[in-house]
């Protein structure tokens, strides 16, 4: 098992010409080729090759369209130089152009506490606190319960002090590693039951990290769980530590780097949103069109049948936390749907599936249809398919879609999918829980739109109502999610941490708007965010974004009506908007012009637009608008 997971088995093996492809990388279109090369399993050698290629392209001045730049500083009590190229390589897999800044060996406190340290001069976007038990004041005191409590409290206080210093000196988001346990417990099986043992101290400290720090907006890279998964005895390598102060066996470096990159990717909205399921020999054994429903291999008590049930359980577990499920299968639709309705052992039902594409078209075309109907980008999809030829076809036709490798044994399908971390999360909100309903309703809306010839009648038939209010504490996590993962309808693509958003809520120079949408198909939840900063008699739109689920429904027109009305009530003269183009927000290139703004200035690719509040005539919109009263900021403080 350890050898298997260390090689990231969900990734295909690198081609024989990998080195040559890195060496000959053309700066023009380099981003897509780097993404393609990063989709393979990359050992330490491959990671150095692709990290060097990225550095060469970056130094050439070429624009890497579609990659999000992230400067990551690492503070650790161990050697981190060996890990940097692997994190850079893994980051490309998640659409990230990571620049790693390393502190001097074991200079954690000096770097964090001095405002003019290298850490702060590098202006990091994120700081990884990669500590283990050797870098914290954790000394065993077997059987001394009160002393053990004090030691754990002191360890937490030290970490909180580091985090406070980092937050006080820069705006970086902090990622904290949980701490792996030690290999051979002093008291054997009694070790975890005795207060003050090293493993017990580490375990209690990890629990406090989760309970105390996550609510403060700290991200956790759960390296303790990773080490436990592969086996502490395998993870720990005393020779590596003694020789070079490397904290774990280097064969796990690709796995470690992938874990870190997942967390960063999730923070920047790169996690996948939809699991697309093949049917025959993927979620059941057999071919339903040939074998018939009664001959499908899917049953408790049958070793192969239970393997397929486990795939369905994994899909349902993802569904329950907000991952959207879809079907893409070469089948007759009526026969495929009948299996969901009639097979007594099926755990998945039609009601779980937001988009159902069963026909004889090629899968790449069907995946495009699924994405369009759900209102998602292709980069949001993961295809689970047992057929190697179909996997290869989709990888070539749609490189944006994640396609995990699957072993021959279906007993390993579910574990491979879940280990791959496509659906990494840093928070879980009520909107996440409802996401399946929202996307299923989106598919129904898409079908209705396909049958409608009159867009105005179609929009009115949706019976839409939006609620617009200021940011609130209860919605803060969802607001941060939207800010950091929305790319298409996002005029400036500015990213803010939870702490940043909290400060915006209480800044008297800032006005915030959050928008919810309901229609006859259901509640879409919080779908838009707008942040305005006061500058004299102008309102500057710092951030305006909207979920792609609700595009082309005139929500932006209704929101602007409210914003202008609010600006007038405050005596403001103009609303000024900025458009900063990226590889993915071309959708809103002409938005300000469409909303009757006039062009003020163009510097390079960046544009400024202005709207005269006094002459603005509200747009007619096919929806009802409800205003929420502003929150009592004084009471909240």
Comparing 233-242, 427-436, 515-524, 560-569, which segment has the lowest mean pLDDT? 427-436
pLDDT digits (tens, 9 = 90+) for 91-134: 999 999 999 998 887 789 899 989 999 999 999 999 999 999 99
pLDDT for residue 344: 92
Q: What is the mean pLDDT of residues 2-15?
A: 86
Average pLDDT of every residue of the chain: 90
pLDDT tier for residue 439 given thresholds of 50, 70 and 90: low
pLDDT for residue 1: 43
pLDDT at 272 over 50: yes
Domains of the chain: 2-267 (3.40.50.1110), 274-419 (3.40.50.1000), 462-636 (3.40.630.30)
Burial class (CB in 10 A: 0-12, 13-18, 19+), 182: middle
**317/54 Cα distance (integer angstroms):** 37
Q: What is the mean pLDDT of residues 553-578?
A: 94
pLDDT for residue 268: 87
Which carries the bigger pLDDT value, residue 72 or residue 486? Answer: 72
Residue 299 dihedral angles phi and psi, to the nearest 5°: -165, 145
Helices and strands in the chain: count of H runs, count of E runs: 27, 18
- Closest of 307, 227, 275, 292 to residue 2, by C-alpha: 227
pLDDT for residue 249: 93
- pLDDT-above-90 percentage for the chain: 68
pLDDT for residue 432: 67
pLDDT at 436 over 70: no
**71/338 Cα distance (integer angstroms):** 51
Which secondary-structure segment (H or E) carries 603? strand 598-603
pLDDT digits (tens, 9 = 90+) for 574-622: 999 999 998 778 889 999 999 999 999 999 889 999 999 999 999 999 9
- pLDDT-above-70 percentage for the chain: 94
pLDDT for residue 277: 98
Comparing 119-133, 187-201, 424-438, which segment has the lowest mean pLDDT? 424-438
Q: What is the mean pLDDT of residues 540-546?
A: 95
Q: What is the mean pLDDT of residues 356-380?
A: 91
The residues with which 526 forms a beta bridge, in sequence order, are 516
Comparing 102-106, 280-284, 389-393, which segment has the lowest mean pLDDT? 102-106
pLDDT tier for residue 532 given thresholds of 50, 70 and 90: very high
Q: What is the mean pLDDT of residues 447-461?
A: 69
Q: What is the mean pLDDT of residues 69-98?
A: 94
Q: What is the CA radius of gyration of the chain?
A: 26
- Closest of 218, 521, 584, 529 to residue 380, by C-alpha: 584
pLDDT for residue 49: 96
pLDDT at 454 over 90: no
Specify the 3-state DSSP secondary structure of 534.
strand
Q: What is the mean pLDDT of residues 383-392?
A: 93
Q: What is the mean pLDDT of residues 470-499?
A: 88
Within 10 A of 408 (CB to CB), how many other CB atoms are there? 8
Q: What is the mean pLDDT of residues 350-379?
A: 91
pLDDT for residue 634: 46
pLDDT for residue 582: 85
pLDDT at 636 over 50: no
Would strands 173-177 and 219-221 be described as parallel, antiparallel, or unpaired? parallel
């Amino acid at each position: 098992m350890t050898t298997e997971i260390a090689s990231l088995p969900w990734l295909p093996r690198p081609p024989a010409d990998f080195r040559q492809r890195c060496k000959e990388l053309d700066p023009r279109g380099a981003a897509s080729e780097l993404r393609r090369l990063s989709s393979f399993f990359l050992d330490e050698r491959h990671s150095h090759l692709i990290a060097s290629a990225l550095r060469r392209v970056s130094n050439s001045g070429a624009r890497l369209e579609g990659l999000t730049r992230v400067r990551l500083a690492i503070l650790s009590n161990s050697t981190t130089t060996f890990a940097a190229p692997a994190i850079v390589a893994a980051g490309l897999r998640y659409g990230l152009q990571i620049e790693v800044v390393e502190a001097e060996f074991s200079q954690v406190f000096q770097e964090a506490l001095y405002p003019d340290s290298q850490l702060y001069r590098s202006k990091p976007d994120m700081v990884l606190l990669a500590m283990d038990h050797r870098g914290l004041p954790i000394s065993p005191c077997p059987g001394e319960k009160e002393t053990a409590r004090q030691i754990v409290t002191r360890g937490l206080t030290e970490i909180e002090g580091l985090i406070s210093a980092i937050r006080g000196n820069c705006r970086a988001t902090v990622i904290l590693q949980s701490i792996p346990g030690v290999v051979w417990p002093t008291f054997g099986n009694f070790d975890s039951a005795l207060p003050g043992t090293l493993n017990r101290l580490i375990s209690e400290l990890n629990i406090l990290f989760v309970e105390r720090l996550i609510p403060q907006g700290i991200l956790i890279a759960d390296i303790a769980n990773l080490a436990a998964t592969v086996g502490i005895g395998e993870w720990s390598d005393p020779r590596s530590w003694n020789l070079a102060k490397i904290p774990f066996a280097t064969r796990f470096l690709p796995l470690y780097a992938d874990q870190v990159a997942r967390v960063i990717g999730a923070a920047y909205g790169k996690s996948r949103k939809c699991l697309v399921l093949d049917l025959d020999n993927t979620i059941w054994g057999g071919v339903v069109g040939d074998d018939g429903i009664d001959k499908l291999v899917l049953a408790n008590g049958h070793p192969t049948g239970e393997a397929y049930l486990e795939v369905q359980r994994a899909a349902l577990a993802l569904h329950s936390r907000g991952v959207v499920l879809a079907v893409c299968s070469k089948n007759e639709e009526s026969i495929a749907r009948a299996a969901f309705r009639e097979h007594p052992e099926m755990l998945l039902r039609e009601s779980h599936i937001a988009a159902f594409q069963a026909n004889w078209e090629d899968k790449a075309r069907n995946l495009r249809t699924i994405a369009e109907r759900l209102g998602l980008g292709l980069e949001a999809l993961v295809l689970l398919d047992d057929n190697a030829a179909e996997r290869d076809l989709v990888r070539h036709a749609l490189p944006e879609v994640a396609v995990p490798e699957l072993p021959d044994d279906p007993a390993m399908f579910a574990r491979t999918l879940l280990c791959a971390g496509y659906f990494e999360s840093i928070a879980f909100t009520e909107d996440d829980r409802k996401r399946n309903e929202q996307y299923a309703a989106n598919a129904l809306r898409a079908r209705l739109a396909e049958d409608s010839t009159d867009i105005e009648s179609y929009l009115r038939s949706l019976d839409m109502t939006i609620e617009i209010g200021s940011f609130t504490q209860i919605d803060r996590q969802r607001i941060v999610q939207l800010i950091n993962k929305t790319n298409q309808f996002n005029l400036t693509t500015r990213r803010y941490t939870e702490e940043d958003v909290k400060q915006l809520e209480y800044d008297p120079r800032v006005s915030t708007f959050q928008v919810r949408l309901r229609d006859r198909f259901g509640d879409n939840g919080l779908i838009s965010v707008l942040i305005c900063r006061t500058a004299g008699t102008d309102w500057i739109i710092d951030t305006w974004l909207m979920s792609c689920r609700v595009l082309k429904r005139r929500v932006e027109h209704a929101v602007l009506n409210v914003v202008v009305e609010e600006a007038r009530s405050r005596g403001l003269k103009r609303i000024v908007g900025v458009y900063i183009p990226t590889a993915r927000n071309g959708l809103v290139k002409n938005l300000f012009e469409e909303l009757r703004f006039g062009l003020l200035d163009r510097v390079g690719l960046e544009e400024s637009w202005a709207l005269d509040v006094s002459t603005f005539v509200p747009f007619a919109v096919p929806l009802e608008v409800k205003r929420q009263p502003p929150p009592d900021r004084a009471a909240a403080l």
